[in-house]
Every structure is written in structure tokens, then in C-alpha cells.
Amino acid sequence: MKRLMGLDVGDRTIGVAVSDPLMITAQGVKTIRRKNYNKDLEEIKSIINLYEVSKIIVGLPKRLDGTIGIQSEKVMKFADRLKLDLDLPIEYQDERFTTSLSEKILINADVKRKKRKMVIDKLAAVQILTTYIDKNRRENG
């Protein structure tokens, strides 16, 4: 069975999550420290092959009013390149509040600040993918 991949794309890191084979839950896989596009692509490809990913869900960091800003444009440019290089469908998921929600979850779990910085993007990718999975489940009954 194929899986979904969730990406939280930032300027310095990319949080990565994958669904289970039944596409019910999302698990954090890793946080990629960005070097350059080709290195980022290599790491993403290796995860795609390992987990047999069939679709990528990219978090879109819209502004609070729902409009597209500079960061959204950067993410969309990155996703467009991925689409060309990977030949996989890519969809966007509104990611407003995922990082702040992830931060609250980690604080409530009493995770120290240094450790939070290491896992927050991966957890944000889990939130993005979970939201997408839940939304599709509701829409498709």
C-alpha cells in the first residue's frame, strides 16, 4: 500500500511525516537540515522510496487572513520544482497555526527548549498531514 508524505518547508529545515499504509495516521520521520535544492531532493527521494509514497502534501503558510504571502510563494516555488523532479502529485494543506500548536504540544510534554527546536518542524509536518487525512476522511465519508 502506498503512503502520503507531509512536508513542512521552511528556509532552514523541512519537517517530514508519512502516513501509515491505510492513510489513517501520520508519523514524524525526520527534520531535513536544508543545504541546497539537490541535497534536499536527494533526502526527500530516499524517504519516498523507503516508505513508497504516492502523494506529497505540502503545508502552505498562509497569512492569518488566508492570503498568500512571501513565505507561501517560496514554498510553492519549492513544491513546483519537486513536482517536476519527482513526478508525484502534490497538494497543499493550509498550515496556519501548525507550528504554534506543535510548540504547545511539546511544552505541555515538558520537552526542553533545545530538544523542541530539533523536532518542531517534524511535528508540524505531522499536524499538516493529519489535518489533510482528517479532511479527506470527512469529505469522502
Retrieve residue 117's grid coordinates: 527546536
Question: CA triplet 103, 91, 137: central angle to 5 degrees?
Answer: 75
Q: Identify whether the C-beta of residue 129 lies closer than 8 Å to the C-beta of residue 17.
A: yes
Q: Which SS3 state, helix, strand or coil, does residue 35 take?
A: coil
Q: Tell me if residue 38 falls in helix, strand or coil.
A: helix
**Whole-number pLDDT of residue 16:** 97
- In tens digits, the chain (141 residues) has pLDDT values of 689 999 999 999 999 999 999 999 999 999 999 999 999 999 999 999 999 999 999 999 887 787 888 999 999 999 999 999 998 999 999 986 666 666 666 666 666 666 656 666 888 899 999 999 988 887 776
Beta-sheet strands, E only, within 35-137: 53-60, 90-94
Give the dihedral sign, CA 58/53/126/31.
Answer: negative
- Cα 70 → chain centroid: 18
pLDDT number for residue 123: 85
Q: Residue 59 forms beta bridges with which residues?
A: 93
The pLDDT, as a whole number, for residue 140 is 76
What pLDDT does residue 62 have?
A: 82
59/125 Cα distance (integer angstroms): 7
Q: What is the predicted pLDDT for the residue at 20?
A: 95
Burial class (CB in 10 A: 0-12, 13-18, 19+), 72: middle
pLDDT for 19 equals 97
CA distances from 52 to 6, 15, 128, 137 (A): 13, 18, 19, 21
* Candidates 2.60.290.11, 3.30.413.10, 3.30.420.140, 3.10.20.30; CATH matching 3-140: 3.30.420.140
| Per-residue confidence (pLDDT) for residue 77, from 0 to 100 | 97
- Indicate the pTM of the whole model: 0.86
